[in-house]
């Protein structure tokens, strides 16, 4: 079973009929071919964009794939945009430095994001990077209405031959709060909510770092591909057992941030009803769209801490080709009014 488009999550191709106009398009290049997908679609759909900004992480590119895909994005966008910028940001593991540099870049290029129609392709942004990017867009430029685009992978490449696990990263640099989302440690103990990904070791690293009083888990179902929800469960068996989260396991669609936000809210409500003295800590290790749901929740609940295990290396052969491309409209003012 997988998610078919609903009223909140739409196929990008269908959404662009009739053609759309945006003032600003922000995307990111990477080793993954799916980073090009939205820009591949735009010209045929006669999309019009004023200014495009392509983030280029400062990482080694041994096979020149990242450079190839960034140039492909640029060529696609030059057909429909007035201005196309390639922004050379900092390391993928240093979102604070990268976003600070981004703000300086905007000023140097005289790009004003206020009162603009903005769309952001989050497909290959790392989660801490786009968490901080959207926080800055909201706080510095008063951005409350925007669109996001996301392209699924067709499949993931790297597997551990012994355990049949999907390996996306290597090593552990640090476990720390996502910049801009440090929360407020009012109480002495924590409740941890982990959105499960394919690398079970990451959930265990977060659990060991937090040492929570209570642990919950959210698995992506329906998943991008049939059976992928089973892969994430199998990969996290150790974490689920050691943390006790197997007794507090919830499900949210892998590609729907709004439903994910609802599930997170449901869990927090249960925690607060039974354990008034626990800080809320969330680790968005699942899909990017689920992580965006956590971001929406954190926007409305600034005492929530978002934590992330920063790997030492992101593997260059992360994913293979691409699946469906989705678009959603976000209205933070509307979401805020719905929760009151």
Residue 335: per-residue pLDDT: 80
CATH architecture of 162-314: 3-Layer(aba) Sandwich (3.40)
Cα separations (Å) of 193 from 240, 251, 288, 305? 12, 12, 16, 10
Where are the CATH 3.40.50.11700 domain residues in the chain?
Answer: 10-155+319-339
Please give the CATH number for the structural domain made up of 10-155+319-339: 3.40.50.11700
What are the structure tokens assigned to 276, written together?
A: 């008034």
Our measurement of the distance from residue 172's CA atom to the centroid of its chain's CA atoms, rounded to an integer in Å, reads 19
pLDDT on residue 3: 40
Asked if residue 189 lies in contact with residue 278, where contact means CB atoms within 8 angstroms, the answer is: yes
Helices (H), 79-227: 95-108, 127-141, 200-210
Give the largest CA-CA distance in the chain: 56
Q: State the pLDDT at residue 199.
A: 86
Residue 167, φ and ψ in degrees, nearest 5: -110, 115
The one-digit pLDDT tens for each residue of the chain (340 residues) are 334 344 589 999 999 999 999 999 999 999 889 999 999 999 999 999 999 999 999 877 778 889 999 999 999 999 999 999 999 998 888 999 999 999 999 999 999 999 999 999 999 999 999 999 999 999 999 999 999 999 998 876 655 555 556 666 666 778 999 999 999 888 889 999 999 998 889 999 999 999 999 999 999 987 667 777 888 899 899 999 999 999 999 999 999 999 999 999 999 999 999 877 899 999 999 999 999 999 999 999 999 999 999 886 666 566 678 999 999 999 998 887 666 5
In order of 126, 184, 199, 232, 250, the CA distances from 195 in angstroms are 15, 21, 11, 10, 9
**3-class SS at 256?**
coil
Per-residue pLDDT, 172: 77
- In this prediction, residue 5 carries a pLDDT of 43
């Amino acid at each position: 079973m997988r998610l078919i488009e609903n009223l909140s999550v739409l196929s990008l191709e269908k959404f662009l009929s009739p053609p759309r106009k945006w003032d600003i398009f922000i995307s990111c290049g990477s080793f993954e071919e799916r980073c090009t997908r939205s820009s591949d679609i735009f010209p045929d759909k006669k999309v019009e964009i004023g200014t495009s900004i392509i983030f280029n992480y400062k990482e080694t590119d041994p096979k020149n794939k990242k450079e190839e895909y960034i140039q492909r994005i640029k060529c696609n966008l030059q057909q429909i945009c007035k201005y196309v910028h390639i922004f050379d940001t900092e390391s993928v593991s240093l979102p604070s430095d990268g976003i600070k540099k981004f703000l300086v870049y905007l000023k140097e290029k005289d790009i004003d994001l206020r009162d603009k129609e903005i769309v952001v392709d989050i497909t290959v942004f790392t989660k801490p990077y786009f968490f901080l990017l959207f926080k800055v867009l909201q706080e510095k430029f008063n951005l409350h209405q925007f669109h996001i685009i996301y392209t699924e992978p067709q499949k993931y490449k790297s597997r551990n031959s012994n355990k049949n696990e999907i390996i996306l990263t290597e090593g552990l640099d640090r476990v720390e709060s996502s910049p801009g989302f440090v929360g407020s440690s009012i109480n002495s103990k924590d409740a941890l909510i982990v959105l499960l990904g394919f690398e079970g070791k990451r959930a265990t690293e977060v659990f060991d770092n937090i040492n929570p009083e209570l642990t919950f888990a959210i698995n992506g179902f329906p998943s991008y591909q049939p059976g992928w929800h089973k892969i994430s469960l199998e990969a996290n068996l150790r974490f689920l057992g050691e943390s006790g989260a197997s007794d507090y396991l919830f499900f949210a669609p892998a590609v729907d941030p709004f439903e994910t936000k609802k599930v997170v809210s449901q869990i927090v409500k249960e925690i607060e009803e039974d354990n008034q003295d626990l800080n809320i800590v969330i680790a968005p290790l699942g899909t990017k769209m689920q992580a965006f749901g956590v971001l929406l929740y954190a926007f409305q609940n600034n005492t929530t801490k978002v934590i992330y295990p920063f790997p030492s290396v992101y593997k260059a052969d992360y994913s293979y080709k691409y699946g469906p491309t989705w678009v959603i409209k976000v209205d933070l003012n509307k979401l805020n009014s719905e929760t009151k």
